[in-house]
Structure 1
Amino acid sequence: MPAEQSQSEPVSTPGASFQKQLSLWDTVNIIIGIVIGVSIFKLPSLVFGNAGSIEAGFVIWGLGGLLMLAGALCYAELASAIPETGGDYVFLSRTYGNGCGFLFGWAQFIAINPGNIGIMSYVFADYAIEFLNASGYEIPEGWSVILAAASVCILIFLNLLGLMVGKWAQNILTLAKVIGLAAIFVSGLYLGLQGTGETVVEPVIKNPNSELHFGLAMVFVLYAFGGWNDAAFVAAEVKEPGKNIPRALIAGTGGILVIYLLINFAYLWGLGSTRLLKSSTPAAELLGNAWGDYGTQIISLIIMISSLGAINGLIITGSRVNVRLGMDHHFFAALARWNERVNAPLYSLLSQGVISIVMIFLVGTETGRGLIDAPFTLIQGDFIKWEQYQDGFDTLLVATAPLFWTFFLLTGLSLIILRYKSPQMERPFRVPLYPVTPILFCLTCLYMLYASLEYARGLALLGLIPVLIGVPLYWTSRRKGR
């Protein structure tokens, strides 16, 4: 082998030992736990309002689920062919080279995963405050940042106790989440049977410009379905990954689609289309109508549990991408250190928690926003218009979405490229209707990338700049590795 070729190979750090402790059921719970966060409690009124009719709204939810399933089938083939820890990191490295894989791992480490954890932690904090206020406790202003950071600290601590503790926490939170969603469904049926809602068979929603917003409704739906791909990050710890990863992706995404359709039906049956369109919190209104003040507390508790389930799932899967980054690149070798006694990457979990908490304080406090603005004041004082974003949830979502869809698009394309580059690769699962399925998925990612950039504008730099710092880091790491 030529010297230059050997130098370009990634430096592998020994000591990362993966015990296969995740069953098919555990993996499905991770998918459901991450995907069903808070969107189903907030977005239905926006989706139906922009769709133009009830029928069109349900078509959009169904189409979003089918597009998610197309992506899941693509990931199922990639994960079954390359069942290694890191998911997209491995797929991108194998397709485009180590540099692309590094940028994905670095983006996950420094921006995407901490940003998603921060998003869910702010949702938990907001509803925790609402729950406590409804219970008679007065929570001082500014506590949302503290509660958001506390939720991350507690779940990081549980995962530091080992994969068994982390996965059982995930299973319990997902079960509680499903019970909560069942309560919403039952409440909708109860109100509908009592005749308190309007008829659900109302063909047209009064919105004269609805045809102009079909794409926006699809953006909301695809955001609600986001996160299912994270199951590929833990492929090395799944029992029989060649079989169970595809099964988990298909079962998880299919189950989520059914749950979303049932919950939307419950909203419409219990509230009626007019009241649903006017409500920014349909789940809270539905349970409030059914059970009074207790219903308001119940929905706050359900959303808190749902948020915690999403945070825990992101912690489990994201830390495994960090491990792969540490295995292949010298500068991050500490992230690959694996504690075999508890079967967990302790340094990876701790660093992930620290970055998430820093991000929570940066976007959620005036001091933090001032620190972010400081470098831009030399160019243009109001480059990031904070007044457009309500809180840390909006800010982190908008800043990280373009990165997320960029790497999603590259991963979808990698399936097509690997079919040509490595036709001899064993593929226990092959995506049906190839190449239509991956092309459909890639077009979806391309549209979502455009939509997220159009909305983010200047705030996209908040996610992009840290990622670009990874370019000199990669070249420095390569030279150090040699």
Structure 2
Amino acid sequence: MSPQQVSDTRPQPQPTLSLRHAVAIIVGIVIGAGIFKSPSLVAQFSGSASTMMWAWVLGGLISLLGALCYAELASAWPHAGGDYHFLWRAYGRRVAFLFAWARFAVITTGSIALLGFVFGDYMSALLPWGTTHSAAIWAALALIVLTWLNLRGLQASASTQSWLTMAEVLGLVLVIVAGIWLSTGNGSAIAPGTIVTQESSSGTGMWGLAMVFVLLTYGGWNEAAYLSAEMHGSRKRILHALVISIGLITALYVAVNWAYWQGLGMSGMAGSKAVAADLLERAFGAAGQWVMAAMVAVAAITSMNATMIVGARTNFAVGRDWPQLAFLGRWQQARGVPSIALYAQSACAMLLILLGDTMRSGFQTMVDFTAPVFWLFFLLSTLALIVLRVREPHAERPFRVPFYPLLPLIFAGVCGYMLWSSLVYVRIGAWVGVAVLAVGGVLLWWLERGAAPAVDDARGDGNRI
């Protein structure tokens, strides 16, 4: 423990989260609208049912590899800043700040706004406002209510998250039940062995593209790192939370895709615009469409709440390190929440909702940029494990990645491939990402012109939480 840490008497995050709450948050972040859309694309590019199913299994295994890497980092250095803190220790404050800026400017707030629009689109189908701005109104209302909920405290938001995640999982169970119902000869299922012509020519490139969508659907488990400082019990509890969450998510994803295949066949999956809606309609009739809209709305708001919980903690960590941004580093001890950081995050997300309502295509391009930026810093965070093994060999590590350095290098290779793929397929969005990082560089230059940051050490030793 460094002298700076000893003298720091400011309110800090406390270990109040249970394993159940952590699992609910992780599962809630990962299982969003993607599982209701991506399976159609994966079916198109897989070529056969067995290849498709193995793609979803492989996605879970790859996620588990990454989780083991993050479990070592988070158990060794539990910190509310998550990736921001790991990047600081490994590469210094500049790289860490650029990550925090990208996360605040678009990655987290853009995700919150986009999830708000998904929620708004489906709520508009259930309860329309009678205006073209209906989706934006629902998105704004969801943001306001969830901000109020999170300001009440971590226990309130985490408990709500547990109930939302339970409802979300029950929705996926309903999809699985529909698949079983159709596979037994009820309803009007399509023969599951049917394959569309375009799939038979699927090659390595198509398989790689299928994995892009699979891994995007699994994305978000790494947010567990932001909870590491607030989990009570052994520091290895973060490992348990990650393994349990990814195991549950993988089982659900494989079962849901089996249900889609059984109910719609490969052709039906590949040609569907709303695969879950088509399955439920085939199994339960017109009522299935209403149930589907409610399921996606719940999934969207569940991911939205979980993203808000973890997102504000990066802003809090930045406020602790940079005196000019100290207002972000205020921790409300009684409620266990970084209130100012949460207000800032919600304000930025609200601006994106307003922008998205006025120029929807521009909003989509702006949000698309998150993929290359996300995978760039994901790659750097994974390599940080190797850097810190060399730089800080004697640091206490309650958990060590097995088969080091093979497993971290394999996952780093996956991140590198995903970075390349996202740059190839996103294109315009990638340039938006570069522009946002450039703005962050200007802001960093302005901050460094002023007072020196609170922690000038390249590894951030003085600000562990």
Query: What letter is aligned with 1:200?
Result: P
Query: CA–CA distance in 2 between the matches of 1:114 and 1:462?
Result: 15
Query: CA–CA distance in 1 between the matches of 2:324 and 2:313?
Result: 17
Deviation string 1:138-157 (CA, Å, 9 cap, x unpaired) is: 63223222222221121111
Structure 2 counterpart of 1:84: 79
Structure 2 counterpart of 1:277: 270
SS in 1 for 2:175: helix
1:192-207 mapped onto 2 (5 Å cutoff): 192-195=183-186, 196-201=188-193, 207=199
Query: CA–CA distance in 2 between the matches of 1:123 and 1:429?
Result: 38
Deviation (angstroms), 1:396? 4.3
Q: 1:143 aligns with which of 134, 137, 157?
A: 134
Deviation (angstroms), 1:241? 5.4
1:361-376 mapped onto 2 (5 Å cutoff): 361-366=354-359
Kept in 2, the 8 Å contact 1:36–1:306? The answer is yes
Query: CA–CA distance in 2 between the matches of 1:208 and 1:280?
Result: 20
Kept in 2, the 8 Å contact 1:18–1:343? The answer is yes
Deviation (angstroms), 1:310? 0.4
Deviation string 1:102-136 (CA, Å, 9 cap, x unpaired) is: 1111221222110111221111111111223xxxx
Query: What letter is aligned with 2:199?
Result: N
Q: Given the alignment of the two structures, is residue 348 of structure 1 paired with residue 318 of structure 2, yes or no?
A: no
Deviation string 1:315-371 (CA, Å, 9 cap, x unpaired) is: 0001111110000011211111111222211111111001011112223313xx7xx
Structure 2 counterpart of 1:161: 152
SS in 2 for 1:197: coil
Query: CA–CA distance in 2 between the matches of 1:164 and 1:414?
Result: 32
Deviation (angstroms), 1:14? 5.5
Structure 2 counterpart of 1:300: 293
Q: Given the alignment of the two structures, is residue 467 of structure 1 paired with residue 460 of structure 2, yes or no?
A: no
Query: CA–CA distance in 1 between the matches of 2:366 and 2:60?
Result: 24
Kept in 1, the 8 Å contact 2:48–2:200? The answer is no
Query: What letter is aligned with 1:460?
Result: A
Structure 1 counterpart of 2:412: 442
Indicate the larger mover: 450-459 or 151-160. 450-459
Kept in 1, the 8 Å contact 2:133–2:357? The answer is no
SS in 2 for 1:340: coil
Kept in 1, the 8 Å contact 2:277–2:288? The answer is yes
Q: 1:128 aligns with which of 96, 100, 123?
A: 123
The percent of aligned pairs where both chains have the same amino acid is: 40
Structure 1 counterpart of 2:250: 257
Q: Given the alignment of the two structures, is residue 183 of structure 1 paired with residue 183 of structure 2, yes or no?
A: no
Structure 1 counterpart of 2:201: 209
Indicate the larger mover: 233-242 or 35-44. 233-242
Kept in 1, the 8 Å contact 2:189–2:264? The answer is yes
Query: CA–CA distance in 2 between the matches of 1:240 and 1:332?
Result: 32
Kept in 2, the 8 Å contact 1:83–1:241? The answer is no
Query: CA–CA distance in 1 between the matches of 2:437 and 2:372?
Result: 12
Query: CA–CA distance in 2 between the matches of 1:346 and 1:204?
Result: 52
Q: Which runs of 5+ in 1 are unaligned?
A: 1-5, 370-385
Deviation (angstroms), 1:13? 7.6
Q: 2:162 aligns with which of 171, 176, 182?
A: 171
| Greater than 4 Å deviation, 4+ residue runs | 201-206
SS in 2 for 1:481: coil
Query: What letter is aligned with 1:323?
Result: F
Deviation (angstroms), 1:306? 0.6
Deviation string 1:29-82 (CA, Å, 9 cap, x unpaired) is: 111000000111111111011011111111111111111111111000110111
Query: CA–CA distance in 2 between the matches of 1:44 and 1:131?
Result: 24
Q: Which runs of 5+ in 2 are unaligned?
A: 453-465
Query: CA–CA distance in 1 between the matches of 2:198 and 2:430?
Result: 34
Query: CA–CA distance in 2 between the matches of 1:343 and 1:156?
Result: 14
| TM-score normalised over the length of structure 1 | 0.88
Query: What letter is aligned with 2:97?
Result: F
Q: 1:49 aligns with which of 31, 44, 47?
A: 44
Kept in 2, the 8 Å contact 1:65–1:225? The answer is yes
Query: CA–CA distance in 2 between the matches of 1:343 and 1:426?
Result: 27
| TM-score normalised over the length of structure 2 | 0.91
Structure 2 counterpart of 1:383: none
Query: CA–CA distance in 2 between the matches of 1:423 and 1:115?
Result: 37
Structure 2 counterpart of 1:476: 446
Q: How many residues align?
A: 447
SS in 2 for 1:272: helix
Query: CA–CA distance in 2 between the matches of 1:109 and 1:96?
Result: 20
Q: CA RMSD in A?
A: 2.1
Q: 2:312 aligns with which of 302, 319, 328?
A: 319
Kept in 2, the 8 Å contact 1:116–1:396? The answer is no
